Amino acid sequence: MSENQIEMQEQVSQLLHFLKNEEMPEFRAKFLDFHVYEQGQFYQSLSKEERQKMYCYLSPKEIADMFDVIEEDNEEVSEYIAEMNPQYVADMLGEMYTDNAVDILSQLSKSRQTKYLRLMKEEEAREVKELLHYEEDTAGSIMATEYVSIVANQTVRSAMHLLKREAKVAETIYYVYVVDASNRLVGVISLRDLIINEDDTMIADIMNERVISVQVDEDQEDIAKTVRDYDFLALPVTDDQDYLLGIVTVDDIIDVIDDEAASDYSGLAGVNIEVVDENPWKAASKRLPWLITLLFLGMSTATLISHYEALVSKASILAVFISLITGTAGNAGTQSLAVAVRRIATNENNNTSFFHLVFSEVLTGIVTGAITGVTIMLIVGFWQHNFMLGFVIGMAMLCAITVANLAGSLIPMLMDRLGFDPAVASGPFITTLSDLTSVLIYFSIASIFMHYFIHH
């Protein structure tokens, strides 16, 4: 354990001592000296009774600063809110950045939302209500309304004066947005530009008129790509008339990237990986639908094998290689699926035709299948002293891998074209589908060449 960790543990122990002994001044001094992230970690480690003391010791503003960094998708947030005095909650939400307050309220029932909004100050409640109406996972649902805007026909001096006045409540001051009299976005200027230019310089002369902005109904994943591509710390959000509505900051984008990555991985795995501490019954209830669906698809494979029972009875050696072919084809399909989902996520398909991508995957499948097929043909040939059997296994491997490769890329691409999440074409589904096709291919080829490798 590092020195910093040991020191942190000692400080946490001191905090707990102050809290349990109701030494409020000492607790406040020590707690408020912590970074807000550390405050949040300490708060979440407490019991309900200990948290109740904290509400008495700290103001809604001080708790709000901490809740601004507590993960908004933390399942226990609604429980924390429920244990607080309603007016305390309303005051706390009013002190939070609007987008974070909306994230918390969106986890609550409509009746609880209404109760807290009614207790909030009118102006604060109005801003929160506006954001609550935006569709989930869009710019409107994650944007903040605490930004700094100025007009073009003012000087750097007056802009800096306004910036100093608004800086305390603004979510970021690194970008200052220039609007016209109707609040339409016309330009942007950085804090650096304001600092390095003379006080009497007009904003219109130094502002950047080419502003990269996002529409209020734009998907959050597309916004994350824009932030990544342009290396912005914040993006302005406008409506279709270019009215400035808010900003999306990089900390929100990091959350979006994290959520999207977890969502994609959950889709590939066929299970929700974001909740890891559920009780076994609840976890099982979420996993069973996929497993039962795949069970029925797997039964199709079992039925297909039973259809070739007569063939297997004549050449029992064929049964030895069933799992080898289905497993390898499933692995190839999963690899292809992962590449396809990644390609779609990074928009690498944009400049490439659909048929070119399909042809590329088929070619990749043929190359990998041919090399794998030749390898297994030689192994089986020397092992069983039967190169015709090796040829059948190798040819089945080539065809199975090619088909699995094609399915692994084609299915997510088709789903993307149809407007569905390509990650839903999960790994278990592709693997089970590959089992079905590879068994069909294997026994079809074996039945054609059977009389060549069976010694009478």
In the chain, domain spans: 3-133, 149-250, 280-453
pLDDT at 10: 87
CA angle, 340 as apex, 337 and 341 as ends, to 5°?
85
Asked if pLDDT for residue 296 goes beyond 50, the answer is yes
Element (H, E) at 149: strand 149-151
Bigger pLDDT: 311 or 176? 176
Distance, CA of 279 to CA of 282 (rounded, Å) = 6
Q: Does position 57 have pLDDT exceeding 90, yes or no?
A: yes
Q: What is the pLDDT of residues 416-430, one digit of tens each?
A: 777 666 665 566 777
**What does each C-alpha distance from 279 to 79, 282, 283, 285, 321 come to in angstroms?**
18, 6, 6, 10, 39
Instruction: Identify the weakest region by mean pLDDT among 120-129, 132-141, 223-232, 429-438.
Output: 429-438
Categorize the per-residue pLDDT at 160 as very low, low, confident or very high, splitting at 50, 70 and 90. very high
Q: Which residues pair with 155 in a beta bridge?
A: 202
In this prediction the pTM is 0.59
> Closest Cα partner for 357 from 319, 399, 412?
412
**Cα(142)–Cα(220) distance, rounded to whole angstroms?**
8
Q: Which of 92-106, 229-243, 366-380, 419-433 has the lowest mean pLDDT?
A: 419-433
Q: Are 139 and 145 spatial neighbours (Cβ–Cβ below 8 Å)? A: no
Q: Largest Cα–Cα distance of the chain, in whole Å? A: 101
- Per-residue pLDDT at 75: 66
Terminus-to-terminus CA distance in the chain, angstroms? Answer: 70
Q: What is the pLDDT of residue 216?
A: 93
Q: Return the C-alpha torsion angle 266, 271, 275, 280, nearest 10.
A: -170
Strand partners, 176: 189
pLDDT at residue 455, as a whole number: 58
The predicted pLDDT at position 456 comes to: 45
- pLDDT (0 to 100) of residue 262: 55
Q: What is the spatial distance between Cα 172 and Cα 415, in angstroms, rounded to a whole number?
A: 38
CATH annotation of 3-133: 1.25.60.10
β-strands 149-151, 234-238 pairing: unpaired
pLDDT recorded at residue 159:
94
Higher pLDDT: 266 or 324? It is 324
Q: Tokens for 224?
A: 């994350």
Element (H or E) spanning 26, and its range? Answer: helix 24-32
| CATH 3.10.580.10 for domain 149-250 | yes
What is the residue-averaged pLDDT of the chain? 84
- Torsion, Cα 276 279 281 283, to 10 degrees, reads -10
For 177-225, the three-class secondary structure string (H helix, E strand, C coil) is EEECCCCEEEEEEEHHHHHHCCCCCEHHHHCECCCCCEECCCEHHHHHH
CA 244 to chain centre: 27
Q: Which residues contact 266 (CB under 8 A, 6 or more apart)?
A: 272, 273, 274, 423
Residue 268 pLDDT > 60: no
Portion of the chain with pLDDT greater than 70, in percent: 86
Say which CATH superfamily domain 280-453 falls into: SLC41 divalent cation transporters, integral membrane domain (1.10.357.20)
Q: In 3-state terms, what secondary structure has residue 36?
A: helix
Q: Are 272 and 266 in contact (CB under 8 A)?
A: yes
Across the range 228-244, mean pLDDT stands at 91
Question: What mean pLDDT is predicted for residues 223-231?
Answer: 87
* 380 C-beta neighbours (distance < 10 Å), count: 25
pLDDT of residue 351: 54
Q: Three-class SS of residue 234?
A: strand
